[in-house]
């Protein structure tokens, strides 16, 4: 959530920045509500002062009236009227403040100055490439056909069990999927300094509000039919980041990594990537989350991107990194760098990791703070990214390591986690 003080002090600059994300801020609506809030706050404070003053003097006034034999009911009626007027003023202020809060909660984060202008993913800017796509001397198959050829990947039986956009893995592919997960966790913990954390796969509404999925993106979530308003997590970012909701931490940085399933309804993506594992309702990710000092969050983003890149490099998978333009930037992110892995069957790079700096946007919604050098609470910054999306990494390995006879070679770094086998047939 944006700082209300920033809107009050520099509304036009905020509106101009949000245009980069394709968002039009209704400045007139904000100014009108802000004017109402100021007037109602002055009135409410004035009535509260009058109420306090009258309460202090009421006993004396009643005593004097009784001594004179005067009727004290008018004095009581006046006190009651002031009390009612004060309560009405507080209620009016609360209602307008609620409207302001609703407006603020719907505002996306301000993009960083380095975020390029643009409307769609076609306007994203490539930063660098690593690796050279392999040249095949045989007909390339996609991961669906390869997995089907040795009964390792089954979408039909998953559709019978649940529905479309689910999969069943068997044998070597299931083992490869597990080995990739373990390899990612081991690397981030052993080489990149993350602490592993196990988190719930079901979260409450407050948690999703904290990270910015609610209230705006509820249609993208799987909500449980439960009066407690529980949701399946769309990413481990949600439960991990909310570890410090309403907390004040005494040390930074804090770096967590977690492996979880993720559940997304894919609302609005009908017809996109319906074949295979690229876009599913259930998939798995290894997620990195950092809680950092505000002065260090941009360096933290670069280091986190490097941690995700290290996984791709160890797997020897060609990829490129791109900076997302304003129109493709997420609601809560100030800046996002995507990693896109090469898929031979599509002859293009596809997203496999999204790494973002949210600055204090999520922390303000969650009231996540740290103690600064003066010992005073201050909003921390949050940074996170996939390290990596396991299913998409599996797809990339299957396709990039396919062999002429239809078998899949196992990347060298994964062979110890696969019991020493060198290929899947």
- Mark whether 17 is an active-site residue: no
Whether 175 has a binding-site annotation, put simply, is: no
What SS3 class is residue 62?
helix
Of the residues 351, 371, 378, 407, only one is catalytic, namely: 351
- Counting other chains too, the contacts that 140-143 makes at CB distance below 8 Å and 24 or more residues apart are 140/344, 140/345, 140/399, 140/402, 141/345, 141/399, 141/402, 141/406, 142/275, 142/276, 142/345, 142/346, 142/399, 143/276, 143/277, 143/345, 143/394, 143/395, 143/398, 143/399
Question: Residues with Cβ < 8 Å from 272, sequence gap 6 or more?
Answer: 266, 279
Whether 316 has a binding-site annotation, put simply, is: no
- Closest to 329 in 3D by CA, of 13, 103, 22: 22
Whether 269 has a binding-site annotation, put simply, is: no
Of the residues 86, 207, 258, 354, only one is catalytic, namely: 354
Spatial separation of the C-alpha atoms in residues 341 and 350, rounded to whole Å: 5
Whether 52 has a binding-site annotation, put simply, is: no
- Mark whether 149 is an active-site residue: no
Whether 170 has a binding-site annotation, put simply, is: no
- Mark whether 279 is an active-site residue: yes
Of the residues 264, 364, 365, 369, only one is catalytic, namely: 264
Whether 384 has a binding-site annotation, put simply, is: yes
Whether 205 has a binding-site annotation, put simply, is: no
- Counting other chains too, the contacts that 42-48 makes at CB distance below 8 Å and 24 or more residues apart are 43/89, 43/93, 44/86, 44/89, 44/90, 44/92, 44/93, 47/82, 47/85, 47/86, 47/89, 48/86, 48/90
| CB atoms near residue 156 (< 10 Å) | 10
CA angle 246, 283, 281 (to 5 degrees): 95
Of the residues 279, 320, 350, 371, only one is catalytic, namely: 279
Question: Residues with Cβ < 8 Å from 67, sequence gap 6 or more?
Answer: none
Of the residues 332, 340, 392, 399, only one is catalytic, namely: 392
Spatial separation of the C-alpha atoms in residues 245 and 364, rounded to whole Å: 9
SS (H, E, C) 109-169: CCCCCCCCCCCCHHHCEEEEEECCCCCCCCCCCCHHHHHHHCCCEECHHHHHHCCCCCCEE
What SS3 class is residue 335?
strand
| CB atoms near residue 38 (< 10 Å) | 13
Whether 265 has a binding-site annotation, put simply, is: yes
Whether 287 has a binding-site annotation, put simply, is: yes
- Mark whether 351 is an active-site residue: yes
- Mark whether 392 is an active-site residue: yes
Whether 12 has a binding-site annotation, put simply, is: no
Whether 354 has a binding-site annotation, put simply, is: yes
Using an 8 Å Cβ cutoff, are 245 and 222 in contact? Answer: no
What SS3 class is residue 8?
helix
Q: Which positions are catalytic? A: 264, 279, 351, 354, 392
State the binding site for L-serine. Answer: 235-237, 264, 287, 384, 386
State the binding site. Answer: 235-237, 264-266, 287, 351-354, 384, 386
State the binding site for ATP. Answer: 264-266, 351-354
């Amino acid at each position: 959530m944006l700082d209300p003080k920033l809107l009050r002090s520099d509304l036009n600059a905020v509106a101009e920045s949000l245009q980069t994300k394709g968002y039009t801020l209704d400045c007139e609506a904000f100014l009108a509500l802000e004017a109402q809030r100021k007037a109602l706050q002055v009135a409410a404070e004035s009535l509260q002062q009058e109420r306090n003053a009258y309460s202090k003097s009421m006993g004396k006034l009643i005593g004097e009236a009784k001594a004179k034999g005067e009727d004290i009911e008018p004095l009581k009626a006046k006190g009651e009227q002031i009390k009612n007027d004060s309560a009405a003023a507080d209620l009016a202020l609360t209602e307008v403040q609620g409207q302001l809060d609703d407006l603020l909660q719907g505002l996306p984060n301000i993009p960083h100055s380095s975020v390029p202008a643009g409307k769609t993913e076609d306007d994203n800017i490539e930063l660098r490439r690593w690796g050279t796509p392999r040249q095949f001397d045989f007909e390339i198959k996609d991961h669906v056909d390869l997995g089907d050829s040795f009964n390792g990947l089954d979408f039909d039986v998953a559709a019978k069990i649940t529905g479309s956009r689910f999969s069943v893995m068997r044998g070597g592919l299931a083992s490869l999927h597990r080995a990739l997960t373990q390899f990612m966790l081991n690397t981030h913990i052993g080489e990149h300094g993350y602490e592993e954390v196990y988190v719930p796969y079901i979260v409450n509404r407050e948690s999703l509000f904290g990270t910015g999925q609610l209230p705006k993106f509820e249609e993208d979530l799987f909500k449980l039919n439960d009066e407690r308003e529980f949701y399946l997590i769309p990413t481990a970012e949600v439960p991990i980041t909310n570890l410090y909701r309403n907390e004040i931490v005494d040390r930074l940085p804090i770096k967590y990594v977690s492996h979880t399933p993720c559940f997304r309804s894919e609302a609005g993506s009908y017809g996109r990537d319906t074949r295979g594992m690229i876009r599913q309702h259930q998939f798995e990710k290894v997620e990195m989350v950092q809680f950092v000092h505000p002065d260090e969050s941009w360096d933290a983003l670069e280091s986190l991107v490097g941690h995700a890149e290290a996984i791709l490099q160890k797997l020897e998978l060609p990829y490129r990194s791109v900076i997302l333009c304003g129109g493709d930037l997420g609601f809560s992110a100030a800046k996002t760098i995507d990693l896109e892995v090469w898929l031979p069957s599509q002859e293009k790079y596809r997203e496999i990791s999204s790494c973002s700096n949210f600055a204090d946007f999520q922390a303000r919604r969650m009231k996540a703070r740290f103690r600064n050098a003066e010992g005073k609470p201050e909003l921390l910054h949050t940074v996170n990214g996939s390290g990596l999306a396991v299913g998409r990494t599996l797809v990339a390995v299957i396709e990039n390591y396919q062999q002429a006879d239809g078998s899949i070679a196992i990347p060298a770094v994964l062979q110890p986690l696969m019991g020493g086998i060198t290929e899947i047939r």
